[in-house]
Amino acid sequence: MNNVISKDGTAIAYDQYGNGPAVILVTGALGYRKFPSQEQLADLLANHYTVINYDRRGRGDSDDTPPYAVEREIEDIDALIESVGGSAYLYGVSSGAILALEAADQLSEKIPKLALYEPPLILDASRPPLPLDYVEQLDEAILSRQRDKALEIFMTQALLIPEEYLAPQKESPIWRDFLAVAHTLAYDGRIAHDVMIGKPLPTSKWARVTSSTVVISGANSEPFFHEAAKTLAHHLVKAKDRVLAGQDHNVDPAALVPLLVEFFNS
């Protein structure tokens, strides 16, 4: 494990694998670097690149420094980029893809290529938007030390999982793992909320992203993911969308890596 110190003094933990051009992996809500599929993705990509698999602030072995702001997470990514020589590709998944876009909006000259898997943009009425008080609900649950409640808010309001389906998940080991990072759900809520409220993207949103970009969706995923990918492909300066056969939001790293290698090498 390595550490880099972000601009505000926060220590960000990461593992580094492989050789070649640097690729930084940006996890989504509840993601962390030691999650099994995350480590598998890093191992597979390390056959081609220098892979930086890091814990976003407040997760795993990374520290956290209040108050939270999206800008601090962009500074974390910037510090990681500087640690590998000042330039890196980014791969972001779900809300981590939105964070990667925010980083590229500020740091495009340092991010020549940007790969995004299913950024959860809700731009129309094709699925229910996040409630306007979604972040406030999460903040209240975390402030009252009710991490279970924060997880339930995320599962039912962001993922639209019916409450009756949560009981089996609460009995599984993964629920305990999620509880350890549940306080960061409000962070992802702040990152993603304004593009998950059922309104079209403002023309100025991510206007400074000049990175060559691919937006990927799984063929078996919900329609709004495909709409988001197509919208971004037209919205960004240099972007295209791709559909990955046989996949959904929980993408198989073995299916994803060939597409990423094709894009990063092109």
Containing structural domain, residue 168: 134-193
**pLDDT 10s digits, 83-113:** 999 999 999 999 999 999 999 999 999 999 9
Residue type, 26: V
For residue 126, being part of any structural domain is answered with no
Q: In 3D, which of 191, 234, 240 has the Cα closest to residue 216?
A: 240
Domain CATH number, residue 235: 3.40.50.1820
Q: For the chain, how many structural domains are there in total?
A: 2
Q: In 3D, which of 175, 174, 169, 182 has the Cα closest to residue 143?
A: 182
For residue 93, being part of any structural domain is answered with yes
Angstrom CA distances, 254 to 69, 70, 108, stand at 34, 31, 28
Residues for the chain: how many in total? 266
Same domain, 150 and 116: no
This prediction has a pTM of: 0.95
Distance of CA 192 to the CA centre of its chain: 10
Residue type, 82: E
**pLDDT 10s digits, 28-67:** 999 999 999 999 999 999 999 999 999 999 999 999 999 9
